A and B are shown apart, each in its own frame.
Chain A
């Protein structure tokens, strides 16, 4: 396996070689999946993924270790990935294809996973929301955000949350738009967008079942 990796990266140049894979794929991906499952089933809880960080080079440094870990855990040749312009780079594409075999798509409506940052989030992007009969066929957004903390302004409630849980992903207009989009999920339920937020190695998830309210508006 290591031999193979060495050979391929030599051919493709040094750029994608810096993108780390999982040292022990079966056990590492299990451990990461359980953390992601925990994050999705208890929305807004923060967890830190122990994964090697992607290279600290623009534009891909914004992705962060946690979201790279999610990609390595969940993507394979059966999944289609959409990449926002501000994250897109040949090394990322190469690393994604090399480590997971995932297909990269230009059509957000066709994507199982979308990689973006709070800055590149556009509420108008036509991601798949699933249908009323198959609501599971929707895009899962993997979003790099400004920060992740259990603090206001956002108050989450619903399945997975005993009473309420506060979540702060940042002050940027993009972060606000992301949370506004999540708040709008209730109106279209069971269709909707599920989001996994990453900030460095930290991760939190907010699925479509969560009610998100802003303290500032109230």
Chain B
């Protein structure tokens, strides 16, 4: 595309983000501040993820973009088109074929492999923000590893509902040190963070923070001995592909109470249906 550098961002910005990414990888789970740029899309549309993707993407990479697991929703389609225009890269919907996957709020069902990079779009990177509004304080709490308040928050769920009611953006501890917000992925996806062979990068555009989980890193979801971490379960299987182990979306089909459950990961669902057919 004429008039723009490869992948939209100028080289100076890319270098700044690349240096921050190396520090993020060196200190897993720590939020590195970076000089976030204004992107040609509003905050909340994945500007953090887009800047990370633009800084790592190469002309030979194959890019996949998903929004809540789907390749064909507005956010995914617009970001995919963005990189097709400004970087001219090949895109795919197949998880297995992608080198870089930018995601909004899901981890693909198909296991990732070594060498792949998963880029998360993050709205609020600070897991302690709803407990402590001051950035200075939360930074100090991370420095002192003062995370007891996070357990209090989870305990309040138990006191009120009898179980931990947090279902997404479920806090994790990375390599036994930093408590980290895994972005608003369903807690169903939390176990996939642990020991994943792919590199996982997180970018928050409005808050101008990025962080990382290197491959094969220990990632634990916070819990209690008597209330261990549990993922969501469904009584249904996917109405389209029959999977009983994927994350399901409930779809209302009429105004008489009709509903069906389908996979949120469209590539996984379509691949399974292709295999069955």
Interface residues of A (CB under 8 A from B): 25-27, 29-31, 33-34, 36-38, 40-42, 73-76, 78-79, 112, 131-136, 138, 140, 158-162, 189-190, 194, 207-209
> When A42-B214, A160-B214, A189-B177 are in contact, do A37 and B22 touch as well, CB less than 8 Å?
yes
Give bound CA distance, A33 to B58, whole Å.
10
Of A26, A42, A161, A190, the residue contacting B30 (CB under 8 A) is: A190
- How many residues does chain B have at the interface if contact means C-beta atoms less than 8 Å apart? 46
B11 touches A29 (CB 8 A): yes
Of A33, A135, A159, the residue contacting B214 (CB under 8 A) is: A159
B207 lies within 8 A of chain A by Cβ: no
CB distance from A22 to the nearest CB of B (A): 10
A34 touches B26 (CB 8 A): no
Give bound CA distance, A161 to B195, whole Å.
9
CB distance from B145 to the nearest CB of A (A): 10
Interface residues of B (CB under 8 A from A): 5-6, 11-12, 14-16, 18-28, 30, 32-33, 55-59, 115, 139-140, 142-144, 174-175, 177-178, 195, 197, 199, 212-218
Of B32, B58, B115, B143, the residue contacting A31 (CB under 8 A) is: B58
Residues of chain A contacted by B26 (CB below 8 angstroms): 40, 194, 207-209
In the complex, residue of chain A having the shortest beta-carbon distance to the beta carbon of B213:
A159
Of B15, B115, B216, the residue contacting A29 (CB under 8 A) is: B15
A27 touches B6 (CB 8 A): yes
Excluding A37-B21, A40-B22, 11 further A-B contacts by CB distance (< 8 Å) are A37-B25, A42-B215, A74-B18, A74-B22, A75-B15, A76-B12, A78-B12, A132-B144, A136-B23, A136-B32, A159-B217
Residues of chain B contacted by A161 (CB below 8 angstroms): 216
Give bound CA distance, A29 to B9, whole Å.
14
Give bound CA distance, A140 to B139, whole Å.
22
Give bound CA distance, A26 to B143, whole Å.
37
Q: Would you list 12 pairs from A and B whose C-beta atoms are within 8 A, ordered by A residue?
A: A26-B11, A33-B18, A33-B56, A36-B22, A38-B115, A74-B19, A158-B175, A190-B27, A194-B22, A194-B23, A207-B25, A209-B28
B25 touches A40 (CB 8 A): yes
> When A25-B11, A159-B216 are in contact, do A136 and B16 touch as well, CB less than 8 Å?
no
Instruction: Please indicate which of the listed interface residues B18, B57, B59 has the most CB atoms of chain A within 10 Å of its own CB.
Output: B18
Give bound CA distance, A158 to B27, whole Å.
11
In the complex, residue of chain A having the shortest beta-carbon distance to the beta carbon of B21:
A37
Give bound CA distance, A160 to B212, whole Å.
11
CB distance from B58 to the nearest CB of A (A): 5
Give bound CA distance, A25 to B217, whole Å.
33
Of A42, A74, A194, the residue contacting B15 (CB under 8 A) is: A74
Residues of chain B contacted by A132 (CB below 8 angstroms): 143-144
In the complex, residue of chain A having the shortest beta-carbon distance to the beta carbon of B216:
A162
Residues of chain A contacted by B143 (CB below 8 angstroms): 131-133, 190
Residues of chain A contacted by B58 (CB below 8 angstroms): 27, 30-31, 34
Give bound CA distance, A172 to B89, whole Å.
46
9 residue pairs, one from A and one from B, having the closest CB atoms: A207-B26, A132-B143, A160-B214, A136-B23, A159-B217, A41-B214, A159-B214, A162-B216, A194-B26
Give bound CA distance, A135 to B24, whole Å.
10
Give bound CA distance, A29 to B6, whole Å.
12
B215 touches A160 (CB 8 A): yes
Of B16, B28, B139, the residue contacting A159 (CB under 8 A) is: B28
